[in-house]
Chain A
């Protein structure tokens, strides 16, 4: 019996189940947390089941196996709309979602990042808001998430050993005076974990799925654990199309297309949406009804808005000697010195510098998209001598950066496809420029003979679009991810984010999912759900 076999299946007319849409960091974690409490869950996943044995050490082949490639369009001032017009985000359509692909960086938010509006002010051109939660309320859940993910440098876990790419970063960073530089906090086993997963073997194919299972993913942790309880059923290749509600405005069923393209209807006691930041609002918009003409949970008009991706870009240094950046973990180390809020730098919020490594196929496709000629090829000629770092910083919410529906462009199920509109805020541009300069200084201090500035490419960090807010008029859900308008509808992924903070989002998504499970169980026990 495989660890993915359902021990329990639920009838489509069973209206006692919680239906969770999406099996990534948010949905997969929520499913397990609820199942552990004895709450019955149907977990719908649009993608197919690909296990660790299926992962491919080949960038393009793996991309075609794991990435979400359904039709999408883009608009706005961002360069991705020109370079990758139908690929706004690099996220996954597979059991485990983007937790299969992520690099593993697991950092807590800083206290002030939950209070972005109070700390940074009401910046023009941004739709600033404080989170309805504070760090102190999240700390117990961060503790639980770090244990669950077996994060290095927490709970007595050692850090991961440095690879060559990080040695370059570290030497440059310390030469220019940075002090907070290490192999970081990673959800990658630095020694075997208690659930039987082995340690990192430094493959370097983190983005292609960890074939050792050393990097945490819901695929081989939360999901099998949930199935083992007998309180969860996984349905892969089931694409949610619409959420239905009753005359009182409570959601009561999910319509989805199964792997043969047949429409199915699963009744539900509650529905949790965790399809990532593009699909989650798309589903709620596509669920518009006479009672909710602008989409479910959209009385605020904020549904789909405030789409954030982090302020990103990359810097590649070229050296006289070999680095072989592709050997070992992709996110092999971090510089945290620029992570705080220091307006004297000319922007609000902070950023982190983390190593990144791409193989030859992705380096050539992403280093300078659209370019050609000798300037480009002379950099590629020195591929083994390259070191790479990725910039990840706080991106501000903007009302017009949003997901909308293309009513005249339909997907394979006849559903309106999403359009992703994004234009960076001047604060993002100022932060990116600062980070480019600092990243360049790091590599020059380490001896780089040439530094290449790589523009942002399709984002893996996607946040906002169903944001949580204290007041119903400011957002889609409350501090528990519960829709302001519909008590038994939950947002359970990064769409909940009020603001982006600088840190990689997964640890906070997992922490929120653990917290949300407690809340749902409480509400059920109290008879409110």
Chain B
């Protein structure tokens, strides 16, 4: 899986905690990209519980039921990497997780989804919430896993769609010539 370490050596070298997951769908665009069905994310600034909590929090903010946890793990990866160099951010994330657990009277992760959501919504406007929201909305959708899942080719379009379907919509009537224009290479040929 891109961007997520699956190497045990990497885990040992970093000395961090490991968040491990399994792809839930055996088919689907992300599964097709993955060499194995398991994935792992090493976290260094955060511990495993904190990482898992933030992952679930991101899922409540931007819920896509069919999108693998592996994609949400990339949000945690970005937060963890930023927090390694930013003690203020690390403290914000850690206290955010403590706050959720405190409010839940134990582990927020152990609550069912509907209950978890209530605690998420209650934090709207708080710095922890804002940081999670602003990071997730960029990070979750700016990677190859998300591109594959949502159907956006990204840099694969670099060469252009002139001969790769730029006009392949056929569920509406075709346009009259005066509204459109000729294919450029047909014209110059």
Point out residues on A near B: beta carbons under 8 Å: 56-60, 152, 158-164, 166-168, 170-171, 181-183, 189-192, 199-205, 211-212, 321-324, 326-328, 333, 359-361, 363-365, 370, 372-374, 376-377, 380-381, 383-384, 446-447
- B15: CB under 8 A from chain A? no
Q: Return chain B residues, CB-CB under 8 Å to A152.
A: 181
| Bound form: Cα–Cα A447–B173 in Å | 12
A360 to B185 Cα, complex, angstroms: 30
Query: Do the beta carbons of A160 and B157 come within 8 Å of each other?
Result: no
In the complex, B21 has a CB within 8 A of chain A: no
B26 within 8 A of A: no
Query: In chain A, what residue has the closest Cβ to B165?
Result: A327
CA distance A348 to B84 in the complex (A): 54
Name the residue of chain B whose CB is nearest to the CB of A319.
Answer: B171
Given A161-B180, A161-B183, decide whether A60 and B152 contact each other with a Cβ distance below 8 A: no
With the chains together, A166 CA to B169 CA distance in Å? 10
A158 touches B162 (CB 8 A): no
User: A71 to chain B: closest CB distance in Å?
Assistant: 18
Residues of chain A contacted by B162 (CB below 8 angstroms):
200-202
Contacts of B183 in A (CB 8 A): 161
Asked whether B175 is an interface residue with its Cβ less than 8 Å from the other chain, the reply is yes
A167 and B172 contacting across the interface, CB-CB below 8 Å: yes
Asked whether A372 and B152 contact (CB < 8 A) given A202-B161, A364-B141, the answer is: no
Task: Contact check, A373 vs B181: say whether CB atoms are below 8 A apart.
Answer: no
Q: Is the interface of A mostly helix, strand, loop or mixed?
A: loop
Q: B122 contacts the other chain (Cβ, under 8 Å)?
A: no
When the two chains form their complex, are residues B181 and A58 in contact, meaning their CB atoms are under 8 A apart?
no
Contact between A161 and B167 (Cβ–Cβ < 8 Å)?
Answer: yes
- Measured in the bound complex, the distance between the Cα atoms of B169 and A170 in whole Å is 13
17 inter-chain pairs at a CB distance below 8 angstroms, sorted by A residue, are: A57-B154, A57-B158, A60-B142, A160-B181, A166-B175, A167-B167, A183-B179, A189-B184, A203-B159, A205-B158, A327-B161, A359-B152, A364-B140, A374-B63, A380-B62, A384-B151, A447-B172
Residues of A near B152 (CB, < 8 A) are: 326, 359-360, 383-384
- Of the residues B138, B147, B172, B185, contact of A60 by C-beta under 8 Å: B138
Task: Tell me the nearest residue of chain A to B124, going by C-beta.
Answer: A372
User: For the complex, what is the distance from the CA of A203 to the CA of B147, rounded to whole Å?
Assistant: 17
Q: Using Cβ atoms and an 8 Å threshold, which residues of chain A touch B114?
A: none
Chain A residue at smallest Cβ distance from B155: A57
Q: Distance in Å from the Cβ of B34 to the closest Cβ of chain A? A: 20
Find out whether the CB atom of A191 lies under 8 angstroms from the CB atom of B184.
Answer: yes
Expressed in whole angstroms, the minimum distance between the Cβ of A374 and any Cβ of chain B is: 6
Question: What 13 additional pairs, Cβ within 8 angstroms, besides A161-B183, A190-B184?
Answer: A158-B182, A160-B181, A161-B167, A199-B184, A203-B157, A203-B161, A326-B152, A327-B161, A328-B161, A361-B138, A364-B141, A372-B61, A447-B172
On whether A380 and B169 interact (CB within 8 A), knowing A160-B181, A191-B184, the answer reads no
- Known contacts A202-B166, A327-B157, A328-B161; decide if A183 and B181 are in contact (CB<8 Å): yes
CA gap between A381 and B152 in the complex, in Å: 11
CA distance A158 to B182 in the complex (A): 7
Flag if A377 contacts B62 (CB, 8 Å).
yes
Inside 8 A of A383's CB, which chain B residues have their CB? 150-152
Task: Report B21-64 CB contacts with A as 1/0, cut-off 8 Å.
Answer: 00000000000000000000000000000000000000001111
Contact with A along B92-132 (1 / 0, CB 8 A): 00000000000000000000000000000000000000000
CB distance from B1 to the nearest CB of A (A): 19
Instruction: State in angstroms the CA–CA spacing of A212 and B167 once bound together.
Output: 19
Q: Are B171 and A321 in contact (CB under 8 A)?
A: yes
In the complex, what's the smallest C-beta–C-beta distance from A373 to chain B, in angstroms?
Answer: 7
In angstroms, how far is the closest chain A Cβ from the Cβ of B188? 6
Across-interface contacts of A170 in B (CB, < 8 A): 175, 179
A58 to B154, CA, bound (A): 6
